[in-house]
Amino acid sequence: MELEFLGTGAGVPAKHRNVSGLALKLLDERNAIWLFDCGEGTQMQILRTTIRPRKIEKIFISHLHGDHIFGLPGLLSSRSFQGGEEPVEIYGPVGLEDYVRTSLQVTKTRLAYSLKFIELSEGVIFKDKQFIVECMLLDHGIASYGFRVSEADHEGMLQVDKLATLDIPAGPIYGKIKQGQKVTLSDGRVIDGKDFVGSSKKGRIVTIFGDTRFMEKSSQFAKDSDVIVHESTFNKDEAKLARAYFHSTTQQAALIAKKAQAKKLMLTHISARYLAKEAKELEEEAKEIFPNTQIAKDFDSIDIPFS
pLDDT higher than threshold 80 for residue 138: yes
Q: Which residues 6+ apart lie within 8 Å of 257 measured at CB?
A: 219, 222, 225, 228, 230, 264, 265, 290, 293
- Taking phi over 0 as left and psi of -120 to 50 as alpha, with beta for the rest, 270 belongs to beta
- Please compute the mean of the pLDDT values over residues 219-234 and round it to a whole number: 97
Do 55 and 78 form a contact (C-beta atoms < 8 A)?
no
| Residue 162 confidence (pLDDT) | 82
- Please compute the mean of the pLDDT values over residues 272-301 and round it to a whole number: 93
Domain 2-154+201-303: which CATH number of 3.20.20.70, 3.10.310.10, 3.60.15.10, 3.40.190.10? 3.60.15.10
- Please compute the mean of the pLDDT values over residues 176-193 and round it to a whole number: 81
Average pLDDT, rounded, for the chain: 93
Tell whether pTM > 0.95: no
Domain with CATH 3.60.15.10 in the chain: 2-154+201-303
| Residue 298 confidence (pLDDT) | 96
3-state secondary structure of 238: coil
Handedness of CA 126, 129, 131, 136 (dihedral sign): positive
pLDDT higher than threshold 80 for residue 146: yes
pLDDT higher than threshold 80 for residue 199: no
pLDDT higher than threshold 90 for residue 115: yes
| Residue 100 confidence (pLDDT) | 98
| Residue 171 confidence (pLDDT) | 77
Angle between helices 96-106 and 72-81 (to 10 degrees): 60
In DSSP terms, which residues pair with 230 in a beta bridge?
A: 267
Of 181 and 68, the structure prediction assigns the larger pLDDT to 68
pLDDT higher than threshold 80 for residue 193: no
| Residue 135 confidence (pLDDT) | 98
Of 136 and 11, the structure prediction assigns the larger pLDDT to 136
pLDDT higher than threshold 90 for residue 275: no
| Residue 145 confidence (pLDDT) | 98
Concerning whether 161 is annotated as a catalytic residue, the answer is no
Distance CA 35, CA 171 (A): 41
Q: At CA 265, angle to CA 259 and CA 269, rounded to 5?
A: 115
Q: At CA 247, angle to CA 245 and CA 252, rounded to 5?
A: 135
- Please compute the mean of the pLDDT values over residues 218-240 and round it to a whole number: 97
Helix H or strand E segment including 268: strand 265-268
| Residue 288 confidence (pLDDT) | 97
Catalytic residue among 28, 37, 67, 300: 67
Distance CA 295, CA 62 (A): 20
Give the lowest-confidence range in 18-32, 166-180, 255-269: 166-180
